[in-house]
Structures are given as C-alpha cells and as structure tokens.
C-alpha cells in the first residue's frame, strides 16, 4: 500500500500547472499605421482564414436575331443575276473534227461499210512451208563442231518438251539439236528451216558489215520471237556466229548449194 501511495504522489507531483490565459500585446504605432493603410484589417481584427473570391456569374447569351430588312412597296428588290460558269471545251478527235468540217463526206461514209483492217501477221515470202527447207542455201556451221564445243547447245522453255521421235528428218539432227528442238516444241523440219534462215541472215549482215542481233534473227525466221531468241543464245554460246565459219562466203563466188549433203554428212 505504501508503494501505491508513493506512486500516486509521484504522479501528482509530476503534473504541470494549468496554463494561464495569454493576452495580445498592444501594437506599436508604426505597425498600427501600416495595417490601417491597407484598409483590410482594423485594430483587433483577426481573419478567420483564407477567403476565396467567388467567380462572377456568366451572363446568359441571348439568341441573336437577324435584323429585319424593310422592303419598300414602291421598288422591289433587284435579283442579282449570276453569270453562267464557263465550261472547258472537250478535246475533239481528228475524226470528229473531220466530220464537222465535211458533213457531206460523213453521210457518204455512213452509207458505205467501212473497210476492216486485217490483223498484222509475220507471213513473209519464203517462210511459209518448212518442209521445203532443203531448197534454202545452207550456210550453217558443221554440226560436228558441237562435239568439241566448250559449252553445250542447250535451251530452256516454259512448257513441256515435244515428242518428235516419229517426225520426218529427225535423224538429221545432232543429239543436242534434237533436245533443243524438242524443248522448244519445234518439229525437225521447222527447226532445220529456221536454222538455215537464221544463218542466211548472218551471212547477209556480215557482208553489209552489220551486227547480227536477236532482232535480226527474229526478222529472218517465222517462229515465235521468244523461241528465236533462245536459239540465238544457244548458237552464240557454242560459237556458231563466229566470222571464221562465213569468210568463205564473203566474196559471193563460193555459194553453198541447196542440197542437204552437208547436213546429212
């Protein structure tokens, strides 16, 4: 019990005395004049906190009314005439211009049927029948040179090869020529005829001192121009367009015969 009483006495002694009420000290004259000059506070006034100014209310927008136009009864308003837009004239073709300039000829043409133009063809004299290829001069290099050629006579085509083992004159083709003709879907007589036509053009261009191009070869044959290009590339690869094969024909005295002896050897 004594210990409890001592503890209570200790707590009582440790308590602080109650605070006295404080009073604001009077301001000095200089501070009082400065506050009075602001006009916001008076002596002894304390603001309760920060007061936010309220925004001014927005004025409601009144609907705009279009001004009324007074029209006098004596003079009615004048309507503003708008000028028509100028259109760009359409371009006339030569036929339309001719029809307008010569209307009489136009009526005469309507009475007569128009002549239809035939479609262009690659039909040239001497290129029709490939079965008569033996009648063409033979300027072709010997086919035995294909055995010693550095590069083989080989072509590529986009479709399947043609079966020509039962075609006439197939035995006159070198094995490499047989494969090339089959690959390009050319029959043996068709291949032999256009081969002679191509080398006839080669000799002609050499006599005229012109370069023998693919276009020149295409103009000399009667097969598809793409197939002619493949043959031109294959012949050029094996060296068949070299001048040494055609120097003997430059003077025109040693013309080859049209017989197939050279081909059959």
Comparison of pLDDT for 252 and 212, the residue scoring more? 212
Comparison of pLDDT for 191 and 257, the residue scoring more? 191
State the average pLDDT over residues 230-250.
94
160 burial level (CB within 10 Å; 0-12, 13-18, 19+)? exposed
Options 3.30.930.10, 3.30.420.40, 1.10.10.10, 3.40.50.620; CATH of 167-249: 1.10.10.10
**For the chain, domain boundaries:** 167-249
State the average pLDDT over residues 141-158.
91
Q: What mean pLDDT value characterizes the chain?
A: 78
pLDDT (tens digit per residue) in 106-132: 555 555 555 455 444 455 545 568 989
pLDDT recorded at residue 70: 60
Residue 166: pLDDT over 90: yes
DSSP per residue, 178-223? HHHHHHTT--HHHHHHHHHHHHHHHHHHHHTT----HHHHHHH-SS
pLDDT recorded at residue 54: 72
Comparison of pLDDT for 100 and 185, the residue scoring more? 185
Residue 260: pLDDT over 60: no
Q: How many CA atoms lie within 13 A of 131 on its CB side?
A: 2
pLDDT recorded at residue 118: 43
Alpha helices in the chain (DSSP H): 2-14, 29-38, 94-101, 103-111, 175-183, 188-207, 214-220, 225-237, 261-264
> Quick one: DSSP state of residue 171?
G
Distance CA 17, CA 131 (A): 142
pLDDT recorded at residue 61: 56
State the average pLDDT over residues 148-159.
90
Backbone angles phi, psi at 210, to 5 degrees: -115, 155
Q: How many CA atoms lie within 13 A of 21 on its CB side?
A: 1
> Quick one: DSSP state of residue 33?
H
pLDDT recorded at residue 119: 42
pLDDT recorded at residue 79: 58
pLDDT (tens digit per residue) in 12-38: 777 777 777 777 777 788 888 888 888
Would you say 191 and 205 are in contact if contact means Cβ atoms under 8 Å apart?
no
216 burial level (CB within 10 Å; 0-12, 13-18, 19+)? middle
Residue 144: pLDDT over 80: yes
pLDDT (tens digit per residue) in 50-103: 666 777 777 665 555 556 666 555 555 565 666 667 676 666 666 676 677 776
């Amino acid at each position: 019990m004594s210990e409890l009483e001592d503890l209570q006495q200790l707590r009582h002694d440790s308590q602080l005395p109650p605070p006295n009420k404080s009073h604001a000290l009077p301001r000095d004259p200089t501070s009082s004049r400065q506050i009075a000059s602001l006009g916001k506070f008076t002596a002894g006034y304390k603001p309760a906190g920060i007061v936010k100014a309220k925004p001014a209310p927005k004025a409601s927008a009144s609907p705009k009314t279009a001004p009324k136009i007074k029209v006098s009864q004596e003079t009615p308003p004048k309507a503003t005439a708008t000028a028509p837009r100028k259109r760009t004239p359409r371009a006339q073709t030569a036929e339309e211009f001719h029809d307008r300039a010569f209307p009489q000829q136009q009526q005469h043409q309507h009475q007569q049927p128009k002549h239809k133009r035939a479609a262009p063809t690659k039909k040239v004299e001497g290129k029709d029948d490939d079965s008569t290829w033996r009648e063409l001069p033979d300027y072709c290099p010997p086919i035995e040179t294909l055995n010693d050629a550095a590069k083989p006579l080989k072509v590529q085509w986009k479709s399947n090869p043609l079966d020509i083992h039962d075609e006439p004159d197939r035995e006159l083709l070198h094995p490499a020529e047989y494969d090339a003709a089959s690959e390009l879907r050319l029959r043996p007589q068709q291949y032999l005829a256009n081969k002679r036509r191509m080398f006839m053009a080669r000799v002609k261009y050499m006599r005229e001192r012109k370069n023998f191009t693919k276009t020149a070869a295409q103009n000399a044959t009667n097969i598809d121009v793409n197939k002619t290009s493949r043959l031109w590339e294959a012949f050029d690869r094996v060296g068949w367009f070299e001048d040494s094969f055609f120097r003997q024909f430059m003077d025109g005295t040693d013309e080859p015969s049209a017989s197939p002896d050279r081909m059959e050897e």
